[in-house]
Amino acid sequence: MEWGKKTGKEVKRTLNFKPNEFFCPCCKVEKMFDGFIERLQLAREIAKVPFKITSGYRCERYQVNLKDRGYKVAKGTSPHEKGIAADIYISNDQNRFKIIEALKVAGIERMGYASNFVHADMDPDRNPKRYWHYKS
Ligand SMILES: [Zn+2]
């Protein structure tokens, strides 16, 4: 099976992810980098729990919109705009453990922790090997 191609009614990005899970909320565009999605897929298989993507690809306009609405966003071009970041919903502490441990094993070395999501990215233009907390 070729990922990203139509298979019956469904278009799949990888075994567990569809492109629309990563759509920019404003324009429904998805420009995720394949290598990043492959790592997420690997992590998903290691974690053995569903990954609910709360933010994937963001276009420049949406990123500006977030900033205008008072959200703290990354300085410069966000890794979300580059298609190499995703925020994954965290439903409880056990779920958080499984997802974060799996992302680490899959080689994700930049993660931001919030109470109900984890941000994962592989931005080569930012400091590698870093975990941070979002202040609420
Ligand atoms: Zn957009």
As a three-state string, the secondary structure of the chain is CCCCCEECCEECCCCCCCHHHHCCCCCCCCCCCHHHHHHHHHHHHHHCCCCCEEECCCCHHHHHHHHHCCCCCCCCCCCCCCCCEEEEECCCHHHHHHHHHHHHHCCCCEEEECCCEEEEECCCCCCCCEEEECCC
Residue 1 lies in a domain: no
Hey, what are 122's tokens?
């592989």
Residue 7, strand partner residues: 10
Q: What residues have CB less than 8 Å from 106, skipping those under 6 apart?
A: 39, 40, 42, 43, 46
- Residue 6 maps to a domain: no
CA of 36 to the centre of ligand 1 (A): 19
Q: What spacing in Å lies between the alpha carbon of 114 and ligand 1's midpoint?
A: 23
The CA distance from 87 to 89, in Å, is 7
More confident residue, 4 or 17: 17
- Residue 111 counted as domain residue: yes
> How far away, in angstroms, is 65 Cα from ligand 1 center?
9
Cα 5 from chain centroid?
21
Ligand 1 centre to CA of 15 (Å) is 25
Under 8 Å between Cβ of 1 and 7: yes
Centroid of ligand 1 to alpha carbon of 99 (angstroms): 27
Spacing, Cα 20 to ligand 1 middle (Å) = 13
Classify residue 3: in a domain, yes or no: no
pLDDT value of position 29: 94
CATH of the domain at 65: 3.30.1380.10
Q: Give the global pTM.
A: 0.90
* 55 within domain boundaries: yes
Domain count, the chain: 1
In a domain, 4, yes or no: no
How many Å lie between the centroid of ligand 1 and the Cα of residue 60? 7
Within-domain flag for 72? yes
Domain residues for the domain of 83 are 11-133
pLDDT class of 135 with cuts at 50, 70, 90:
confident
Positive or negative, the CA dihedral 73, 74, 80, 81 is positive
C-alpha of residue 63 to centroid of ligand 1, in Å: 8
pLDDT tens for residues 44-90? Answer: 999 999 999 999 999 999 999 999 999 888 889 999 999 999 999 99
Q: Domain for residue 114, yes or no? A: yes
